């Protein structure tokens, strides 16, 4: 079955040189990165039936010492991703990187990436220096994304000032927890309802959101500052998000997600190149074991993503 992979990372040498391999590997479960190349991705895609990969920059993102350096790296990453999309038509798309927390520079980069480079959407991290993406600080970006009815891919990063369990990588626990925090921030500040045309994809099945949705909805009723609170407001908002099943297709995880979200909101993701062969094999086995009718399996594998990214909708020509 062909797949559209919405969670596939751009790990070019120029990016690693700028950010530093140590910063990239600090959060990784393997404490290392592969010697990535476009051919590396294409080989993996061929092995696992991935027809198209939507590239994005992973944690720790592109933040450098100065706003100018960060903006330059965002531009270099976006132009590098755009070249791959052009060099391998139909095989790669990309989410634009943004030089946050600089709002003005990020708005400029979004315009350039979407209008000139033909980006397929925008990628944001779950938090920037401890401020989560639902915060009104980021509303100018959401206003632009709303105007464009853009797709927003949210990838987790390490929470600011919190080390977690020292012997366990942030990607193991803190990343899904930080996706959870980002999602709740979108509800707390009302951002999800304020900008309803922004199609938001949450990584890793939304982290702990499927499991904690009922508890969060119930307890939010006690907090008058929670804009989207209670089951009547919060749960419908959560059902409007998209969720990728990167490393999240095991039976219990998928059952919780499926209880919260309709099949039409679930998309496929691999986490290449950070996911190793063993993790990819296990994820493929988990997906194959899910008790799904063929039409729902096909929708998750490629149909739902093809709706979000029409240029990769092969069935529509």
Count of the separate structural domains present in the chain:
1
Question: Average pLDDT in the 66-72 region?
Answer: 97
Would you state the pLDDT for residue 29? 59
Longest dimension (CA), the chain: 53
Query: In this structure, is residue 294 part of a structural domain?
Result: yes
Calculate what percentage of the chain has a pLDDT beyond 70.
98
Would you state the pLDDT for residue 264? 98
Query: In this structure, is residue 210 part of a structural domain?
Result: yes
Would you state the pLDDT for residue 316? 44
Angstrom distance (rounded) from CA 89 to CA 19? 28
DSSP state of 272: B
Angstrom distance (rounded) from CA 83 to CA 271? 21
Calculate what percentage of the chain has a pLDDT beyond 90.
87
Please report, for the domain that includes residue 300, its CATH number.
Answer: 3.20.20.140
Query: In this structure, is residue 315 part of a structural domain?
Result: no
Question: Average pLDDT in the 299-303 region?
Answer: 97
How does residue 119 score in pLDDT terms, banded at 50, 70 and 90? very high
List alpha helices for the chain, DSSP H. 13-19, 21-26, 38-47, 67-87, 103-115, 139-148, 174-188, 191-194, 209-220, 230-240, 251-260, 277-289, 294-298, 304-308
Query: In this structure, is residue 317 part of a structural domain?
Result: no
Higher pLDDT, 253 or 170: 253
How does residue 33 score in pLDDT terms, banded at 50, 70 and 90? confident
Give the model confidence (pLDDT) of 126-158 as tens digits: 999 999 999 999 999 999 999 999 999 999 999
Query: In this structure, is residue 224 part of a structural domain?
Result: yes
Query: In this structure, is residue 249 part of a structural domain?
Result: yes
List the domain range (segments joined by +) for residue 142.
3-308
Give the model confidence (pLDDT) of 257-274 as tens digits: 999 999 999 999 999 999
The DSSP line for 97-160 is P--TT-HHHHHHHHHHHHHTS--SEEEEESEETTEETTSGGGHHHHHHHHHHT-EEEEE--PPT
Would you state the pLDDT for residue 161? 85
Question: Model-level pTM?
Answer: 0.96
Query: In this structure, is residue 314 part of a structural domain?
Result: no
Residues 6+ apart with CB under 8 A from 16: 24, 33
Query: In this structure, is residue 106 part of a structural domain?
Result: yes
Give the model confidence (pLDDT) of 86-108 as tens digits: 999 999 999 999 999 999 999 99
């Amino acid at each position: 079955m062909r797949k559209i992979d919405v969670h596939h990372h751009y790990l070019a040498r120029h990016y690693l040189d700028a950010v530093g391999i140590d910063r990239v590997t600090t959060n990784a479960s393997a404490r290392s990165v592969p010697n990535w190349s476009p051919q590396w991705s294409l080989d993996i895609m061929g092995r696992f039936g991935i027809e198209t990969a939507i590239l994005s920059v992973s944690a720790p993102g592109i933040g450098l010492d100065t706003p100018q350096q960060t903006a330059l790296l965002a531009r270099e990453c976006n132009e590098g991703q755009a070249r791959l999309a052009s060099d391998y038509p139909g095989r790669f798309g990309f989410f634009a990187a943004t030089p946050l927390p600089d709002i003005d520079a990020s708005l400029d980069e979004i315009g350039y990436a979407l209008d000139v480079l033909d980006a397929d959407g925008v990628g944001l991290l779950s938090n920037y220096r401890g401020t989560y993406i639902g915060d009104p600080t980021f509303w100018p970006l959401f206003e632009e994304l709303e105007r464009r009815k853009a797709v927003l891919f949210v990838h987790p990063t390490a929470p600011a000032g919190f080390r977690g369990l020292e012997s366990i990588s942030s990607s193991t626990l803190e990343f899904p927890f930080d996706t959870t925090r980002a999602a709740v921030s979108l509800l707390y500040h009302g951002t999800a309802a304020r900008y309803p045309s922004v199609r938001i994809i949450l990584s890793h099945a939304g982290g702990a959101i499927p499991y904690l949705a009922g508890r969060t909805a119930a307890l939010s009723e006690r907090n008058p500052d929670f804009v989207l609170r209670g089951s009547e407001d919060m749960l419908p908002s959560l059902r409007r998000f998209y969720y990728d099943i990167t490393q999240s297709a095991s039976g219990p995880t998928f059952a919780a997600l499926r209880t919260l979200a309709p099949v039409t909101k679930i998309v496929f993701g691999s986490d290449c190149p950070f996911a190793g062969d063993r993790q990819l094999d296990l994820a493929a086995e988990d997906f194959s074991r899910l008790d799904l009718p063929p039409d729902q399996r096909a929708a998750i594998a490629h149909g739902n993503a093809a709706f979000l990214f029409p240029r990769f909708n092969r069935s529509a020509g």
